[in-house]
Amino acid sequence: MVEENINLRNQVLEACRGLAAYGLGSGIGGHISLRYPNEPFFYMHVFERTFEEMQLEDIILFDFDGKAVSSDRSPSQGIEFHHCIYKQREDIQAIVHSHGFWITAQAAFARPPRIFNNVSTVFYERTALSRNDDFASISESLGSDDVAIVIPWHGAITLGTTLGEAVSRHVVFDYTARMDVTLPTSAPTMPHDQCSSLRQLVERAGYFDETWELVKRKARTVCNSCKEVS
């Protein structure tokens, strides 16, 4: 059995609070997980707390069958897609799912978001569209290079090789969704060549690393007296 890793638990806690600061965790639902390195386990929080309410004791270790280790508290019903994605994509180390307003509104279109700006190009041709919210549908749709999944009439999932990457992509997905929902159908989307070149530029510039640092600063502002997050 693996030992508890306080650093990983703190990272998940900080991610919860940071997304809460962005308004992505005000209701029950949504979940964040982080793979335990080199072991078939991951950290994820309990179901009955919002992101903004989360405390360190709410971050629990699960195995790849979705069973809690040394706890009888319940996760979200959506835990299945976490451990199944980890099994399917060994490169993925963290997963974020939310029912943010703009994300959910965009998911109602049942398609990947339209691309209108440079930072949104990370999702260009790398966003899967699931038929349903069960893992069989998600698995069927998920490609080897995809970094996001739209679940029609439900919400979205973002993936990352680090927790910071998955979280910062989620923040940008919410921004991307807001543009898609609010801009008219006649608005011209970014041409293919520009999407490809700008995506490379944004990634080289470290935009998502800096966005993760911003998310953490916002988390500390939300809960600057919480000793669990350092």
Q: Is the per-residue pLDDT at 225 higher than 60?
A: no
Cα(64)–Cα(133) distance, integer angstroms:
19
Q: Is the per-residue pLDDT at 227 higher than 60?
A: no
pLDDT tens column, 22-65:
999 777 888 999 999 999 999 999 988 889 899 999 999 999 99
* Per-residue model confidence (pLDDT) at position 27: 78
| Residue 208 pLDDT class (50, 70, 90 cuts) | very high
* Cβ contacts of 208 within 8 Å, gap of 6 or more: 122, 164, 165, 168, 169, 172, 202
Q: Is the per-residue pLDDT at 135 higher than 50?
A: yes
Give the predicted TM-score (pTM) of the model.
Answer: 0.93
- Give the burial string for 77-101 (b: 16+ CB within 10 Å, else e): ebbbbbbbbbeebeebbbbbbbbbb
* Per-residue model confidence (pLDDT) at position 29: 81
Q: Is the per-residue pLDDT at 230 higher than 70?
A: no
Q: Is the per-residue pLDDT at 103 higher than 90?
A: yes
- Give the burial string for 115-147 (b: 16+ CB within 10 Å, else e): beebbbbbbbebbbbbeebebebbbebbeeebb
* Per-residue model confidence (pLDDT) at position 156: 95
pLDDT average, residue stretch 158-174: 97
- How far does CA 165 lie from the centroid of its chain? 9
pLDDT average, residue stretch 110-120: 96
* Per-residue model confidence (pLDDT) at position 112: 96
The fraction of the chain above a pLDDT of 70, given in percent, is 97
* Per-residue model confidence (pLDDT) at position 2: 83
Domain range summary for the chain, segments of one domain joined by +: 6-222
pLDDT tens column, 64-85:
998 999 888 878 777 889 999 9
CA-closest candidate to residue 115, choices 164, 183, 166, 169: 183
CA-closest candidate to residue 190, choices 203, 199, 181: 199
* Per-residue model confidence (pLDDT) at position 229: 46
Cβ atoms of 50 and 20 closer than 8 Å:
yes
Q: Is the per-residue pLDDT at 224 higher than 90?
A: no
| Residue 138 pLDDT class (50, 70, 90 cuts) | very high
Superfamily of domain 6-222: Class II aldolase/adducin N-terminal domain (3.40.225.10)
Cα(172)–Cα(90) distance, integer angstroms:
24
